Structure 1
């Protein structure tokens, strides 16, 4: 089946999304809920989304509107009767006293009273404490001992004769989480969805409308889920405010804990040596540090050192004893400056506190999500479609932590031998996590595996490239991979492609290992010379002109920015006197605009008074009316480019004679284009910078292959 492009998906949204919702309901009956219902029932209840979705999943897991409305009424009634608002705590306590027993929804935490050798519970909103809890309950739900758990609890009241005794009694307690699920059914159901459908289902499960995100943006959102399904995964995301960085870790799963970066201590995070009690890493699958950025924040150096050891070795010490844990670490924070500002003056970790702005600490990170690529959350971005009940997908992801999918790419690709063990571990863990999220049933094509392998490499490369700015003693790495047929493919970060002249400022202006922004460069060349390079990575002549030397391939992913005709073609057009464009699809208005933009790129490089030739080969439109317009547009372009000294000719050929897309330049280069000149996504808004500056436009996935045909000039 041929997958629709993101643009086609948007245009076909109406019925397609209805069909997808129907399919979701049929395949996952009872495990999904309409995501807009959460806001409908939440009201002023300050309760996590997974608590509400647990209730909605009990009463609204259907597509029948009447049943949904009845379920909403039931959930509202339950919240009204049992959820404890802080400002109504006295009223609820009075209700318990008068009735003798009452169910409450509250966040409950437990502590050990070692003086009396009993466990005692505290209710966050109800405002009562020292409520006796039996040992079996604590053993069954150990997270009660760490930061608390949302529960549905029976609370009883029995005033004792002894005034020192507490009148509150915990009758029963049930954490608000899924009671059971069948992983095999989940895996079998995954096979009934195409990859595009599955990705959209997951995006809706997070709470967003998939039609407002391109492919790369969707995958970025899903990378945020990896800590829940991958043990000991270390993730960082820095970016502007309001992009939803912390939402996934505060409301998506009952197995994640979000804490303020400035409020953590060694005993709270790892172990309290005084009483031997484990900290957060011993009980939670994911521990996320919110507001992690901030240069002026005070940090505990001892905590940083313990974190380094834990992130690298999965262990920490309690006195003379070494303990292990599986919790993943996530660090999210806001940036104050733009990406080019950080690259020009410091690095992409510049916002971190000094104790964390350390190469040894940063080298433990497996992936860096470029938060600046994530859109600011807007009201229209929230989904009204069906997605997994949060607690269901949370339990599914948790169940996947025991599996390792990190070697699944080896059937098709081989990582660069230049990649170190620590770099390889980071790539493997990200790849494994994405495989579990996207292809838990193990059925993925080579193209699908390559897509997530590239993303995994890019995220680790982003970490490593910034470390090279901080610690000049670390060795550069060539990030990429080979096909089993021996074809090499570089991987570059989006900002590396967008800002090539400042990306390597901290490494003497050169690309480590010869990646896309510095392919074929001389390690001994100067910063000034190297900063004249563009996307294709060609070395510059002494006079500043460019002279490409090596053939290679560049790969771009959906939604990536940084591509432009200037960067892709410009260096290869220097000195050209003849160019041939072979593209079977030059018909639509935007395709004609692409042709004009290409010619403009060349025209800026032609010396005044020189004349050059351009031959355009394309297939005539099959509709006579459109064919006439097509020819008229091409002739109009032919007339307009004469002023630049370009003599253009057009050849309309049979479809059978023209399949592939090429730009053939008489400087001795053939450039193969997977999509021809049509590489950009359709703009989402009328007024976007990308409409004027190509580097800021998002692209559709494509490859560019440069083939050296002759060093000397040739005729067209």
Structure 2
């Protein structure tokens, strides 16, 4: 046991946990944040420091009972429809519509936002009205009648996951028990990372991701290749952080004028926009104007809301390409030139407090997860949230920090805010030495803002190049070189880029699970154009993993499987669920993409039936399919095997495909006259994972 671990156990006692338990407890692919997983684990540890088999069984029982898989959504809705009472864990929230004079419950798992909850639950759990609250809800369905013109789900009881009481003064006092290096290692472990894999500088960069959680209106940009775990901290550290990707509208971010409800900016400490390089602005330009107004003054006006103040910081995460030397591909011409036009405005970029160089962090690997003691996620999140309102740290920074060549108001404020945030995180007792203050607080904050300033100079001649420096400069300041405006038309062609979208081989299952846990295997978003999605994720014949999110569009059997079927003379499909009419039609849609130009193809299907009667019915249909496929040079053979479970498509050209749901990847169309009934790419998908492996 490391020194910091023993100290953490001694001073923090029951509010710490061995972070490796999260990977050992058997949550599978359940989409719940780490801090909720840790609460479930700690609830069943029985004051033990080890994850016993008995505790694992209890946790597995809880997950089985209260954490359903997304594929069970319609099953649960049917149970409600049949007047059964259901309970499950979800991130419930409540919004108030004053115009209609009612409160509505949002149930993400069921994609339901017009449910009802009894007033007492809202009074006892005020977090339902702001950032939402994870807990187990007991639900039932009230069918429509004369008094209730539409059916509605009601939540009768709610059991939130409980937080241990944390005295902030006690937390500050506990910091004194650690050396600075021990404390940093403890923080890195608490964030979920293995501290042994990171250099001292890289550890500080990881800690910088926490600044928007402790410092009001600290706006951060992180640019990095895929696979560095950019969004992991924000998605799993705190319930006060909202992460969104894809299309971002003014109604979602700021104020929904039709519902009269505030947006994410007013309800969370930090709002994170993931995959920022793919964000599309609204044609009216309203989003850009609101963002610039809010980032500058901390207030905005929209629709009937004349003036709203907020303290949330904005975090933008974006993927960039690296060259052969592991440096950003567009470093000379400007990192932001690859962004959408509205994100390239210098007036917008100037409002960001810091640019975090994520390219200096290593990729996620199987050794990345923490294996040591750290603060429980919910506790850590509460501590960071509580530290936001303490203004004494800003006074400390103003009194003790000396900077040179940092006279611009935005520059000085940004460095001041960053140093304040790092002081709260690293020295909550406000007792660093002068050297420690500059090394761990002032200098990292100065570097983050310097990088923003450099990018502005590359984009706009109006910005004068300058080198910031502190009283005790570090290597970055001493080695900094002035930059100048870079005309993109005059730049030479960049060297070959490193393939940062290279998928991870599924051969090492442990590593693949870790990569998905940290968000290193990234799924395409619903807002990406179908052409781009197919080009980036599908058409290259490489061993890879494709993760499809619930409700995502743009996928079809043709663009998923078609390239891999070329040249195959024998196709071996194992799928236990080719039974129902729509499943058989899915199978025929798959058969339709088989390439028969070069001659006959053998198609072998292994499936199963619920009983002998269903098998007889399926046999009649398969015989009819057999005769029809003979006309198209496809020799169809089928057999039933009651013991199969896993799905696979094996091809004699050397490729094997493991589709998690088999061919059943599409949601049911809302209408039989939708275009999606004839064009699969327009249909919404069900959440699944598809692995392509070369034999």
Three-state SS of the structure 1 residue aligned to 2:466 is coil
Correspondence list, 1:3-82, <5 A? 17=2, 19-41=3-25, 42-60=27-45, 62=47, 64-65=49-50, 68-82=52-66
Residues 341 and 122 of structure 1, relative CA distance in 2, 3 Å threshold: closer
| Alpha-carbon distance in structure 2 between the residues aligned to 1:285 and 1:58 | 27
Q: What is the aligned counterpart of 2:201 among 208, 216, 232? A: 216
Q: Which residue in the other structure is 2:462 paired with? A: 473
Q: Which residue in the other structure is 2:191 paired with? A: 206
Q: Which residue in the other structure is 2:336 paired with? A: 349
Residues 294 and 194 of structure 1, relative CA distance in 2, 3 Å threshold: same
Residues 122 and 93 of structure 1, relative CA distance in 2, 3 Å threshold: same
Post-superposition offset of 1:211: 1.1
Instruction: Indicate if the aligned counterparts of 2:299 and 2:309 stay in contact, CA closer than 8 A.
Output: yes
Check if 1:448 corresponds to 2:436: yes
Could you give the per-residue CA deviations for residues 252-282 of structure 1, whole angstroms, max 9, x where no partner exists? Answer: 211111101x311111111123343111111
Q: What is the aligned counterpart of 2:238 among 244, 253, 261? A: 253
Three-state SS of the structure 2 residue aligned to 1:440 is coil
Could you give the per-residue CA deviations for residues 430-481 of structure 1, whole angstroms, max 9, x where no partner exists? Answer: 1000011000011111111011211111110110111112121223334112
Residues 76 and 456 of structure 1, relative CA distance in 2, 3 Å threshold: same
| Alpha-carbon distance in structure 2 between the residues aligned to 1:416 and 1:243 | 33
Residues 129 and 281 of structure 1, relative CA distance in 2, 3 Å threshold: closer
Q: What is the aligned counterpart of 1:361 among 342, 348, 352? A: 348
Three-state SS of the structure 2 residue aligned to 1:307 is helix
Post-superposition offset of 1:232: 0.7
Post-superposition offset of 1:50: 1.7
Q: Which residue in the other structure is 2:378 paired with? A: 391
Q: What is the aligned counterpart of 1:378 among 345, 365, 370? A: 365
TM-score under structure 1 length normalisation: 0.62
Q: Which residue in the other structure is 2:485 paired with? A: 506
Instruction: Indicate if the aligned counterparts of 1:217 and 1:374 stay in contact, CA closer than 8 A.
Output: yes
Q: What is the aligned counterpart of 1:461 among 450, 454, 459? A: 450
Check if 1:227 corresponds to 2:212: yes
Residues 86 and 418 of structure 1, relative CA distance in 2, 3 Å threshold: closer
Check if 1:421 corresponds to 2:409: yes
Q: Which residue in the other structure is 1:132 paired with? A: 116
Instruction: Indicate if the aligned counterparts of 1:205 and 1:388 stay in contact, CA closer than 8 A.
Output: yes
Residues 129 and 318 of structure 1, relative CA distance in 2, 3 Å threshold: closer
Instruction: Indicate if the aligned counterparts of 1:454 and 1:491 stay in contact, CA closer than 8 A.
Output: no
Post-superposition offset of 1:212: 1.1
Instruction: Indicate if the aligned counterparts of 2:247 and 2:280 stay in contact, CA closer than 8 A.
Output: no
Instruction: Indicate if the aligned counterparts of 1:299 and 1:355 stay in contact, CA closer than 8 A.
Output: no
Three-state SS of the structure 2 residue aligned to 1:24 is helix
Q: What is the aligned counterpart of 2:418 among 430, 450, 453? A: 430
Residues 449 and 61 of structure 1, relative CA distance in 2, 3 Å threshold: farther
Instruction: Indicate if the aligned counterparts of 1:479 and 1:491 stay in contact, CA closer than 8 A.
Output: no
Could you give the per-residue CA deviations for residues 140-181 of structure 1, whole angstroms, max 9, x where no partner exists? Answer: 656646785432212245668758464743112244352632
Task: Identify the structure with bigger relative contact order (alpha carbons < 8 Å, sequence gap 6+).
Answer: 2
Instruction: Indicate if the aligned counterparts of 2:404 and 2:470 stay in contact, CA closer than 8 A.
Output: yes
Q: What is the aligned counterpart of 2:292 among 308, 333, 336? A: 308
| Alpha-carbon distance in structure 1 between the residues aligned to 2:398 and 2:149 | 67
Q: Which residue in the other structure is 2:630 paired with? A: none
TM-score under structure 2 length normalisation: 0.63
Q: Which segments of 5 or more consecutive residues in structure 1 lack a partner in the other structure?
A: 1-14, 484-488, 509-716
Q: CA RMSD in A?
A: 3.1
Post-superposition offset of 1:183: 1.3
Q: What is the aligned counterpart of 1:332 among 287, 295, 317? A: 317
Could you give the per-residue CA deviations for residues 410-433 of structure 1, whole angstroms, max 9, x where no partner exists? Answer: 555421254211101100111000
Residues 64 and 127 of structure 1, relative CA distance in 2, 3 Å threshold: same
Q: Which segments of 5 or more consecutive residues in structure 2 lack a partner in the other structure?
A: 488-695
Instruction: Indicate if the aligned counterparts of 2:468 and 2:477 stay in contact, CA closer than 8 A.
Output: no
Could you give the per-residue CA deviations for residues 66-105 of structure 1, whole angstroms, max 9, x where no partner exists? Answer: x644333322211111112222245546777899644321
Q: Which residue in the other structure is 1:482 paired with? A: 471
Select between 246-255 and 53-62 the one with higher mean Cα deviation: 53-62
Instruction: Indicate if the aligned counterparts of 1:256 and 1:287 stay in contact, CA closer than 8 A.
Output: yes
Q: Which residue in the other structure is 1:180 paired with? A: 165
Residues 126 and 465 of structure 1, relative CA distance in 2, 3 Å threshold: closer
Three-state SS of the structure 1 residue aligned to 2:388 is helix
Post-superposition offset of 1:374: 0.9
Post-superposition offset of 1:364: 0.6
| Alpha-carbon distance in structure 2 between the residues aligned to 1:315 and 1:209 | 39
Aligned length: 480
Three-state SS of the structure 2 residue aligned to 1:107 is strand
Three-state SS of the structure 2 residue aligned to 1:232 is coil
Correspondence list, 1:691-706, <5 A? none
Q: Which residue in the other structure is 1:153 paired with? A: 137
Three-state SS of the structure 2 residue aligned to 1:28 is helix
Q: Which residue in the other structure is 1:611 paired with? A: none
| Alpha-carbon distance in structure 1 between the residues aligned to 2:110 and 2:57 | 24
Residues 208 and 442 of structure 1, relative CA distance in 2, 3 Å threshold: same
| Alpha-carbon distance in structure 2 between the residues aligned to 1:103 and 1:408 | 49
Post-superposition offset of 1:110: 3.7
Three-state SS of the structure 1 residue aligned to 2:374 is strand
| Alpha-carbon distance in structure 2 between the residues aligned to 1:45 and 1:490 | 44
Residues 420 and 22 of structure 1, relative CA distance in 2, 3 Å threshold: same
Residues 398 and 112 of structure 1, relative CA distance in 2, 3 Å threshold: closer
Could you give the per-residue CA deviations for residues 175-206 of structure 1, whole angstroms, max 9, x where no partner exists? Answer: 43526322122111111111111111111111
| Alpha-carbon distance in structure 2 between the residues aligned to 1:463 and 1:258 | 22
Instruction: Indicate if the aligned counterparts of 1:299 and 1:353 stay in contact, CA closer than 8 A.
Output: no
Q: Which residue in the other structure is 1:408 paired with? A: 396
Select between 453-462 and 178-187 the one with higher mean Cα deviation: 178-187
Post-superposition offset of 1:375: 0.7
Instruction: Indicate if the aligned counterparts of 1:133 and 1:170 stay in contact, CA closer than 8 A.
Output: yes
Residues 114 and 456 of structure 1, relative CA distance in 2, 3 Å threshold: closer
Instruction: Indicate if the aligned counterparts of 2:141 and 2:151 stay in contact, CA closer than 8 A.
Output: no
Post-superposition offset of 1:330: 0.1
| Alpha-carbon distance in structure 2 between the residues aligned to 1:99 and 1:192 | 56
Correspondence list, 1:580-599, <5 A? none
Select between 111-120 and 327-336 the one with higher mean Cα deviation: 111-120
Three-state SS of the structure 2 residue aligned to 1:30 is helix
Three-state SS of the structure 1 residue aligned to 2:286 is helix
Instruction: Indicate if the aligned counterparts of 2:99 and 2:260 stay in contact, CA closer than 8 A.
Output: no
Post-superposition offset of 1:58: 2.3
Could you give the per-residue CA deviations for residues 218-245 of structure 1, whole angstroms, max 9, x where no partner exists? Answer: 0100100111111111000011111011
Larger Rg: 1
Three-state SS of the structure 1 residue aligned to 2:447 is helix
Residues 68 and 430 of structure 1, relative CA distance in 2, 3 Å threshold: farther
| Alpha-carbon distance in structure 1 between the residues aligned to 2:376 and 2:283 | 38
Instruction: Indicate if the aligned counterparts of 1:33 and 1:62 stay in contact, CA closer than 8 A.
Output: no
Q: Which residue in the other structure is 1:190 paired with? A: 175
